Amino acid sequence: MLMRILLIVLVILVLVLLALSFHIVPQNYEGLVETLGKYSRTVKAGFVMIFPGVQRIRKVSLALQPLEISKYRIITKDNAEITTSLTLNYLVTDSYKYFYNNTDSVESMVQLIRGHLRDIIGRMELNEALGSTSQINAQLAEAIGDLTDIYGIRVVRVNVDELLPSPEIQKAMDKQLTADREKTAAIARAEGEARNIELTTKAKNDALVATAKANAEAIKTQADADAYRIKKLQESLDSAGEGYFRNQSLDSFNQLAQGPNNLIVVDKDEISNLGKIPAAKKIWDQSKKED
User: DSSP string covering 34-52, please?
Assistant: EETTEEEEEE-SEEEE--B
CA dist 4 to 15, 18, 55, 97, 216, Å?
16, 21, 31, 50, 144
Is the pLDDT confidence value at 248 over 60? no
| Parallel, antiparallel or unpaired: strands 81-92 and 65-75 | antiparallel
Q: What domains can you pick out in the chain, each with its CATH number?
A: 20-60 (no CATH), 65-165 (3.30.479.30), 240-291 (no CATH)
**Cβ proximity of 84 and 162 under 8 Å:** yes
Is the pLDDT confidence value at 16 over 80? no
More confident residue, 215 or 270: 215
pLDDT digits (tens, 9 = 90+) for 145-173: 777 778 888 888 888 888 888 777 777 66
Provide CB contacts within 8 A for 143, sequence distance 6+: 116, 119, 120
Quote the distance between the C-alpha of residue 169 and its chain's center.
Answer: 23
> Rounded to two decimals, what is the model's pTM?
0.54
H helices present in the chain, as ranges: 2-21, 95-100, 105-122, 126-130, 133-144, 167-239, 242-258, 276-290
Considering the chain, what percentage of its residues have pLDDT values greater than 70?
74
Q: Using CA atoms, how far apart are residues 88 and 114, in angstroms rounded to an integer?
A: 12
Provide CB contacts within 8 A for 85, sequence distance 6+: 68, 69, 70, 71, 72, 160, 161, 162
pLDDT recorded at residue 240: 56
Q: Using CA atoms, how far apart are residues 16 and 140, in angstroms rounded to an integer?
A: 52
Q: What is the mean pLDDT of residues 1-15?
A: 73
Quote the distance between the C-alpha of residue 59 and its chain's center.
Answer: 53
pLDDT digits (tens, 9 = 90+) for 169-215: 777 666 666 667 777 778 888 888 888 888 888 888 888 888 888 88
Is the pLDDT confidence value at 270 over 60? no
Is the pLDDT confidence value at 232 over 90? no
pLDDT digits (tens, 9 = 90+) for 59-90: 999 999 999 988 888 888 888 888 888 999 99
Is the pLDDT confidence value at 264 over 60? no
Q: What is the mean pLDDT of residues 242-263?
A: 54
The single-letter code of the amino acid at 216 is A
pLDDT recorded at residue 274: 47
The residues facing 24 across adjacent strands are 47
pLDDT range class, residue 32, cuts 50, 70, 90: very high
Q: Using CA atoms, how far apart are residues 223 and 218, in angstroms rounded to an integer?
A: 8
